[in-house]
Amino acid sequence: MLIRSGKIQFLFWTAFFSVMVYLWLVVVGLQTFVLPDEMPLEIPQNVITLMFLLYGLLIVLILAGTIVAAMIDNKFYQKLFGGFIIVAFVTFLGVKGMFG
């Protein structure tokens, strides 16, 4: 059995949950705004609140992973979390551009 250090395990699980939160965010956004059965007459506040909280959690996870990866000088996770930051920011700008 291969035993990794606690810092590497933290980075792995932070990356895993970052991807899961991002996918959850994308699925909720697509189901609510892009692919609904019928267009809602008013904006669903509960979905907007959920998406706001998911973006906040995603930012916290990504920044925690970036900081820990920089502190232990792990190039793989620095690049991975850097890519996550870019993807999350581009997605946020895209949604902001489409829906105002």
DSSP E strand boundaries for the chain:
none
Neighbour count for residue 88 (Cβ, 10 Å): 19
Where do the domains of the chain lie?
45-100
DSSP E strand boundaries for 6-65:
none
pLDDT at 12: 94
Q: What is the mean pLDDT of residues 77-100?
A: 88
Look up the pTM and report it.
Answer: 0.86
**pLDDT of 80 higher than 70:** yes
Q: What is the pLDDT of residues 24-65, one digit of tens each?
A: 999 998 888 888 778 777 878 898 899 989 999 999 999 999
